[in-house]
Amino acid sequence: MNPIDDPRTFIFQVNPVGSIVFANDDWLAFGQENDSPMALESLLNTSLWESISDIETCHVYELLMEKVCQTHEHIYLPFRCDSASCRRYMQMEISCVSPELIQFKSWMLKEEKREPVTLLNSEAKRLDTFLTICSWCKKVQMEDKHWEEVEEAVKKLGLFSDMYLPKLTHGVCPVCKESILEQHFNE
């Protein structure tokens, strides 16, 4: 299948406290294709918050979930879900499908091949140091606190394939945070 024409929709649902109660086959298959295979049985009842490492991103998700529950609006958010060798531009729809059920549905908008970025290779050897990558746009936080596209960051930080790389931790960059909050909470 040509992934650019990937017609699948990736769905998972959580209850109001963030426990995963459902994931569809496409979502599970997508995890498998991207080196994070997860069986449905081991996924159910785990918390969405466990897979999000930083407090700011949790907070953004919490606000979005609260909002869809209160207003029954659907919220649409573009995000990146890159692998080492491609940039994936995806769209997420968050909606409240029943009073106790919040649904996250994602689909592919566009996929671009690139030279593999070893920093994003899940099999690369890792040091115990951390780099923060934005969950939404996949920019990397530099030492002086500004954020760079991953390819640029790799060049500037001199992270090459034959060395141990820092671990990645996910966060939200100020641009994405402001744009999400402004777009959805500024009425």
In the chain, the amino acid numbered 88 is R
Nearer to Zn ion by C-beta: 125 or 146? Answer: 146
Find the shortest distance in angstroms from Cβ 149 to Zn ion. Answer: 10
Nearer to Zn ion by C-beta: 83 or 141? Answer: 141
Round to whole Å and give the CA distance between 45 and 58.
17
Residues that bind Zn ion (CB under 5 A): 134, 136-137, 173, 176
Nearer to Zn ion by C-beta: 40 or 63? Answer: 63
Find the shortest distance in angstroms from Cβ 75 to Zn ion. Answer: 17
Round to whole Å and give the CA distance between 102 and 66.
9
SS3 1: coil
Nearer to Zn ion by C-beta: 20 or 87? Answer: 87
SS3 96: strand
Find the shortest distance in angstroms from Cβ 86 to Zn ion. Answer: 18
Q: Please, how many CA atoms are within 13 Å of residue 20, restricted to the half-sphere of its CB?
A: 21
Find the shortest distance in angstroms from Cβ 11 to Zn ion. Answer: 24
The token pair at 148 is 């760079």
From residue 130, alpha-carbon distances to 64, 140, 157 in Å are 27, 11, 13
Find the shortest distance in angstroms from Cβ 139 to Zn ion. Answer: 5
Nearer to Zn ion by C-beta: 10 or 147? Answer: 147
